């Protein structure tokens, strides 16, 4: 015993919304995708060449450290030895 006047069975071949044949065309979808990719590439190039970049971070080089330890009683080595190498 059914309470419905018409029996509605599921019919997989019948769909509610059907796209028009032109919109469902794979060629039209390919052109739309290519157009979107082209617009994205143009936008990226324009942005790359017109946007000013922030300044680069340059590491600070520390001042040169002495090669001797004055606290330990060492004295610096002179740059030129007068006794060696033929000096006067």
**40 — phi, psi (to 5°)?**
-65, -40
Q: Identify whether 74 is part of a domain.
A: no
Q: Identify whether 62 is part of a domain.
A: no
Residue in 68, 88, 63, 65 with CA at minimum distance from that of residue 78 = 68
Q: Identify whether 81 is part of a domain.
A: no
Alpha helix segments (H runs only) across 1-88: 26-50
Q: Identify whether 58 is part of a domain.
A: no
pLDDT digits (tens, 9 = 90+) for 24-44: 688 888 999 999 999 999 999
Domain encompassing residue 39 = 23-53
- pLDDT tens track, the chain, 88 positions: 556 566 666 666 666 777 677 666 888 889 999 999 999 999 999 999 999 988 888 888 887 776 777 777 777 776 665 555 555 5
| Cα separations in angstroms, 21 against 35, 36, 41, 66 | 20, 21, 30, 82
How many structural domains compose the chain? 1
């Amino acid at each position: 015993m059914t309470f419905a006047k018409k029996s509605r069975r599921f019919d997989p071949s019948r769909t509610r919304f059907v796209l028009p044949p032109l919109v469902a065309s794979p060629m039209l979808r390919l052109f739309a995708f290519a157009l979107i990719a082209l617009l994205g590439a143009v936008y990226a190039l324009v942005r790359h060449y017109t946007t000013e970049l922030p300044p680069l971070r340059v590491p600070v080089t520390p001042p040169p450290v002495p090669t001797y330890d004055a606290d330990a009683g060492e004295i610096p080595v002179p740059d030129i030895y007068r006794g060696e190498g033929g000096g006067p």
